[in-house]
Chain A
Amino acid sequence: MNLLDPQGPVAAANSTILVDSVFIMLVIVVPTIFAILAFAFWFRASNPRARYQPDFVYSGRVEMVVWAIPALTVILLGGVAWIGSHQLDPAAPVPGTGSPVRIQAVSLDWKWLFIYPDQRIATVNTLTVPAGAELNFQLTSSSVMNVFFIPQLGSMIYTMNGMVTKLNLRADNEGKLQGLSAHFSGDGFPDMMFDVNVISPLAFPDWVATTAKTDAVLNEESYTKLMQQGIEKNRLTFRLDDPRLFDLIASQHIPPGPGPELLSDAGRPHSGGHDAR
């Protein structure tokens, strides 16, 4: 999950900007730290060779320089930020080979649901994508906020109930990556890590076909069951019954997840104390 080992163009651009910005700043930060330590050491009271200049309390030239140095750095970095924000806007297209793959991601309490509306399948906690193709993500949440993040593909984004965010990514190399939620969402939050399988574009249709053979069907009913609070250890797969399921979730036609009341130990009245520990 090393940010400096990007596996796609977005992450590569993100981490380039990250590293470049650090180096731009180091150019003034390192000399400044050096100067602090040098001045502090040289002008120590016990150094007889240091000249005491109690009246050196203003100098127009020094003032100009000390305002100019950070200002110039910020102008330079501001340019990086402006251009970078536009080029790396999460919603900006990321051209790839072959036809783009649409993926609708829903953060549930505490698992990730990935819907492939065009392939009419869905998976839980595993994301399988073809290498080289543009990946169009639409994201929402079934209940509380989360952040969708695959560190080596770059650019995280919020998932929010009743709202849809957009993110375009591309994975360049076949292999296994990991994704996670980067926004605390409750007790099961650390278990919201998911696998990302980047497979060859040729193998992708086969994977879709195999997955579509599953008996489990994802519709409003099974989705409502799935969105109950809990941790999902199995990598579930579904056939997608209604390709508009994501829109029903995002438009709140399916009401938001219920929270802790409907957990398996439901029935016990919920007082604060009981909930405490």
Chain B
Amino acid sequence: MLGKLDWSAIPFDQPIPLVAGAVVLVAILAVLIWVVVKGHLPYLWHEWITSVDHKRIGVMYILLASVMLLRGGSDAIMMRLQQAVAYQSQGYLPPEHYNQIFSAHGTIMIFFTAMPFVIGLMNLIVPLQLGVRDVAFPTLNSVGFWLTATGALLVNISLVVGEFARTGWLAFPPLSELSYSPGVGVDYYAWSLQISGVGTLVAGINLVTTVLKLRTKGMNYLRMPMFCWTTLASNLLIVAAFPILTATLAMLLLDRYLGFHFFTNEAGGNVMMFMNLIWAWGHPEVYILVLPAFGIFSEVVSTFSGKALFGYRSMVLATMAICVISFMVWLHHFFTMGAGPDVNAIFGIASMIIAIPTGVKIYNWLFTMYGGRIRFATPMLWAVGFMVTFIIGGLTGVLVAVPPADFMLHNSMFLVAHFHNVIIGGVLFGAFAGFEYWFPKAFGFRLDERWGKAAFWFTFLGFYVTFIPLYVAGMLGMTRRMQHYDVAAWRPWMFVAAAGMAVLSIGVICQIVQLVVSIRNREALRDRTGDPWDGRSLEWATSSPPPVFNFAFHPDVRGEDAYWDMKAAAQQQSLDHAAPEYHDIEMPRNSPTGFICAFFATIMGFALIWHIWWMVILGGIGAFATFVVFAWRDHDEYVIPAAEVAAIDRINLEERRSLVSMAGAL
């Protein structure tokens, strides 16, 4: 009846996951009860859960990412503590638990923190920057989000029901094959990534289509803000790379469920095939994450320097070059396979070539600052911190692209330090910069600057105190994923890294405090203009938060930095006071399709993991039926009457006029 599931799946003898799971469960229940008792449920259902508004979905993506950042961060704290104490001892985590933690940490941070964070920001901002009213496929957008959430949910269920993979975040066979990992851990891993992978692919298709097909009047490709360009590049990579991940994991699952031999030791399976395939996805994935971050920094540096982006066309070229070359370098993840000198050298050099457009980007940001009038608001601090940190990460990255150096550093703590250097210093700093920068746009009030700056400094310093020691440990021969060790020379560095983790945690706490303080002081921090940073692109041309239809009129774009030009023009010739003529606006209706579909997908995923076949069929039919119902819908749009549009827009226009006349008076 319940497949492999029985009471032994609950880890009654393991206090850490059990207590953690119980606390989370109680917290979730408490929130649910509070929501129901307070009568917020209809609001949540109509305004958020079933919403197909790209802004709402973007916010939910970021919320999911933030929650998972805390989960992945707790894993990181546990790992640092374990390695600090596990010198000539077992530490406090047995290997089977420790191995789950580092596997979960990697999986969560990449798939359920970094990915939703950047996809959330793209969802929130790109349609606004393009001057359009929604993404190309609003309901699909909601489906994509909820499927991602399903994956995250399954990973977290594994905390208390069964186990998570103990194979590392890429589940290399043959270790991940049934004979060496007979438990459900790898199944949790694979099914949660299969389901969330569909969500990511859908989001990618949606955003590519949005950028290619939905741009406002005059917004040709070479007038798009840099963030739209990096969004395009990143989502093209998603569309090209995620099917590889899906296919690879499907093959692994066929091996595990139906006795196939794609990657087994026996019967002609080939583990190196998995290595090639997973990195053919895995390397582009790195750029899927970091390209949007580059876009965010481009916006931030340009806005806070009070200048247009330096060398815009050069930046576009660099972005697209990275997009293409990133597909040609995957082999550098396994130089130590013994493939021969020509193969290694060619892939090593190809990997270094990516450093050229990346270096160009750094220099272009540098010259954007040159001759600027730089305001050091929190987003700009993250941007400068990023530039310094990312260069160091780039240096160590090019270093491990030199095959003979990689023969010493492959899989070492040095490598761990390198990719945290680029992912924290690049993606996470970028996500935080974007969060601080666009928060006022999403919610209509700014975030507290003092706590924001404190968060930056603690995170920045904490990062160095944590990861410089790992570079050193790598140079001392320490390899990654050690549950315990007997080498005395490594120990002091593990202590320092643990201390650095504490500083990093303070940074995260500051960020949470910042959010709480800002919400409490929201009236003081209110942004009535819609343009709190003196921005340059179209998202600042509408109110904060934007009305559901974003723009009452499709903005007319006449150059790069569209909104900056409009402001400049308005100041010169004073605003046109003729009352504009408003029209009805059609917007997509809310749809529970995404939520219901994800509900069934969760059931199906859980049942597949535990081999509960009747439930698999139930979930599959449910998910399919949801699509059928959606496909047969009659009314998918509703009309906002012109009068309402006019009322909403006039308030915004008044605020803006007073702002412009004030600026003009100065």
Contacts and interface: CB of A to CB of B under 8 A. Distances in A.
A66 B265 contact: no
Given A58-B311, A161-B265, A273 B408 contact: no
A84 B308 contact: no
A67 to B, nearest CB: 6
B175 interface: yes
Nearest to B486: A193
Interface string A143-166: 111010101101111101111011
A178 interface: yes
A53 B477 CA distance: 50
B307 A54 contact: yes
B14 interface: yes
Given A255-B266, A271-B6, A190 B475 contact: no
Contacts of A80: 402
A67 B360 CA distance: 6
Contact of A57 (B307, B375, B394, B408): B307
B481 interface: yes
Interface in A245-277: 252, 255-256, 258-261, 270-277
Contacts of A236: none
B360 A70 contact: yes
B28 interface: no
Contact of A14 (B373, B394, B404): B404
A248 to B, nearest CB: 15
Contacts of A88: 403-404, 407
B182 A272 contact: yes
B363 A43 contact: no
A62 B95 contact: no
B398 A21 contact: yes
A149 B411 CA distance: 11
Given A147-B411, A272-B610, A256 B266 contact: yes
A89 interface: yes
B403 A85 contact: yes
Nearest to B386: A36
Contact of A3 (B352, B376, B403, B475): B475
B399 interface: yes
A220 to B, nearest CB: 17
Contacts of A189: 95, 481-483
Interface in A103-140: none
A69 B360 CA distance: 9
B310 interface: yes
A190 B404 contact: no
Nearest to B481: A184
Contacts of B5: 273
A215 to B, nearest CB: 29
Contacts of B172: 145
B392 A29 contact: yes
Nearest to B16: A277
A22 interface: yes
B487 interface: yes
B7 to A, nearest CB: 8
A78 B272 CA distance: 26
B387 interface: yes
A107 B622 CA distance: 47
Contacts of B485: 190, 193
B175 A186 contact: yes
Contacts, number: 339
A249 B485 CA distance: 30
Contacts of A70: 355-356, 358-360
A43 B370 CA distance: 7
Interface string B1-43: 0001111111101100100000000000000000000000000
A11 interface: yes
Nearest to B350: A78
B479 A180 contact: yes
B367 A17 contact: no
Interface string B469-495: 000000111111111111101000000
Given A77-B352, A80-B402, A40 B374 contact: yes
A92 to B, nearest CB: 8
Contacts of A272: 4, 9, 162-163, 182-185, 187, 609-610
Interface in A83-104: 84-92
Contacts of B513: none
Interface in A40-54: 40, 43-45, 50-54
Interface in B346-363: 348-349, 352-353, 355-356, 358-360, 362-363
Contact of A82 (B271, B345, B486): B345
B371 A81 contact: no
A82 B349 contact: yes
Contact of B336 (A13, A77, A147): A147
Contacts of B305: 43
Given A25-B395, A39-B370, 6 more contacts: A56-B370, A73-B355, A81-B404, A143-B265, A161-B265, A273-B4
A-B interface, 6 closest residue pairs, ranked by CB to CB distance from nearest: A1-B477, A273-B9, A272-B184, A53-B371, A70-B359, A151-B477
12 contacts: A3-B475, A36-B387, A36-B388, A40-B384, A54-B372, A62-B310, A81-B402, A182-B411, A189-B481, A190-B484, A259-B182, A272-B185
Interface of B: 4-11, 13-14, 17, 94-97, 99, 162-163, 166-168, 172, 174-175, 179-180, 182-185, 187, 265-266, 271-272, 305-312, 314, 334, 336-338, 340-342, 344-345, 348-349, 352-353, 355-356, 358-360, 362-364, 366-376, 384, 387-388, 391-392, 394-395, 398-399, 401-405, 407-412, 475-487, 489, 609-610
